[in-house]
Structure 1
Amino acid sequence: MRSSFTRIILVSAALYAITCGLFIFFLIQYEASRTVITISVLFAVAAAGIFTGFMLAIRNQMSSILSKLSLTIQSIIDRQGSEWFSVSEDNMLSKLQEQVLKLSGILRMQKQRYKEESEEVKSLISDIAHQLKTPLANLTIYNGLLMDSGLTTDKRQEFTRILLSQTEKLTWLMDNLIKMSRLESGIIMIQTGKHDIGKTVFTAIKQMYPHAERKNVEIQFSGEQSIELQHDVKWTGEAILNVLDNAVKYTDEAGVIKVSIHKYEMFARIDIEDNGKGIPEHELSQIFKRFYRGADAIDTHGVGVGLYLARKIITEQGGYMKVSSEMGKGSMFSIFVPVGDSFSVAPAISDITPLD
């Protein structure tokens, strides 16, 4: 940069000298007076000095600017984020500095996001490996036991049931892992449309009913009105089904699960309340985490994916979930789905109960 600037000064000085020489030559050629020639020469020399000083000042100014820019960039590299140009001045340099600092912030955010994504992938792989380890180990163990020719018929049937249970658990786990990964990676897009949320809830209840019936758990569905709002029927139903499945798992035999819908100005609220064992207060903030299982859930079938998926699905639609619980009395999960501009009251679904 400095050599280029010096070259420009030298070329400009040469052109200026040639111009002055030609001017003096014409003055002598046309026999101008000595005084005029002297004044012209002095003026030319003075102009040359002024021009040279001006160019040198510009060079110094440019060097100062480039030096400050270099310091600014270096401070960004060193993560200091120092400002070398006054931000109170609305000029090109302060604007350039602002853009450079913005770029630095964007790059830092991207780096942090990539780091978090990398940690998330590592965590996911670790969680998946941990979740697959137990059922795969059980399959190997019981498969080996079944190969014992001296095994009694009762034991063989028992081990076969365990193998079937572990296979079902493994299949269920893989299905949910696929759903979870597709949702998180954006492969599956939530597609909302104007649908009756009451019918979506009722469909989920019908799907869960056989599982509840095996435990003699009653599911009661009440709601004065059915609400039409923007939601993805399939995935919202999946979220509700996961919450219902969780309620059935942790409700004792002959228990009751109450499902109700309430409408507000901005949201529709779906309450799923059980009279199970309840959730300890210190676990309430943890239960929506991926693969989280409470201390009392060790003996209950599950891997800790259902509630995580449910909240993920609802959040993707602009909603949210809340939970309240009391030990020994049960828990209530509330799903809030935004009604948006498409809110309207549909014909009521009366006396809907899956036990009839």
Structure 2
Amino acid sequence: MQTAAYLILNTGDILEGKFLHQQVVIEGEVVFNTSMMGYQEVMTDPSYEGQLVTMTYPLIGNYGCNDDVKESEVFGAKALIIQTPNHQPDHPTSTSTLKTLAEKTSVPIIYDIDTRHLTKIIRTHSNVFGKISSDPTDKVTMAHIDPDLVKKVSVKKSISIPAKDNKDVHLAVIDFGQKKSIVDVLNQAGAHITVCPYNTTKEMLDQLDVDGVVFSNGPGDPADCLPLIPTVKKIADHYPSFGICLGHQLLALSYGMSTKKLAYGHRGGNHAVKSIETGKVYMTSQNHGYVVCEDSVTDDFSVLFINVNDQSIEGLKHKSKPITSVQFHPEAHPGPTDTMHLIYDFVRDVTKKEVYSHA
């Protein structure tokens, strides 16, 4: 018999479900993801550190799990909240079930939750925090996001990944919580990669003799990273730079812009963004709760992309320096591959040692 699991929210709501594999007591920010697939990537994506993630698609585990798609070895969602688990997945690459993955990663999963109702609660209230417990009388004590999430998920020392061919380009990925798939796509595009800790300085990059820098995605509030901003600015002033998600926000902060919290964030693989330069609309994968404030964009930057649904900023480009950033995830793992060319363009243009531009 499965143990009853209760999701207790700071809104006063209590939702009842069951523990999939082990009974836990755990707290975190409650968010939702609208992707129809990608549960394994969510469970292992460092950007979800500290969060209890609700999958809005009702059937989770359909195609099983395999080690090839995990985004990190340890870090990811604090818990997964689903409606119906599949215990008999059907896919040629599947090597284990969702329950087995949960046991391996120690990510607790609760199911039989009315995820449609929960999503409506999250959309109605800002800053929803919750506790998973077997005791419905437990109280939520968490009221803010851990300010040290980036420090927690970043690598502790640099990791070198040689290029797959003979292209002469060396990129540093500053790890604020990078997904393995970002590094994989950069590597596939021909770059030698060095993944560096979040607090790497320009002087350290000089010693590594890199040609360009990618500021990675990561968890939490970009304002909690304000001590890093002078270093980000110094690096971007000297190296061709590309920012993704949190990296995009930190680049914006370093050049005098500001950020704000969205009501309930953008998380899923079906977010439409529009290119300001061409008018073309791309479908993108996204995972963030904060955005760059529209009225804070400085004269040195152009807006590259906007979100079709709420017109929030989805990309920036410096007018004279080789600095570009996007709020979405161009590596598209999981999600649509519409914007993956941005990563290949960056590697190509750094290889040419030219100031790049994206259509």
TM-score range (shorter-chain normalised) is: under 0.3
- Report which of the two has the higher share of helix: 1
- Report which of the two has the higher share of strand: 2
| TM-score, normalised relative to structure 1 | 0.25
| TM-score, normalised relative to structure 2 | 0.25
Larger Rg: 1
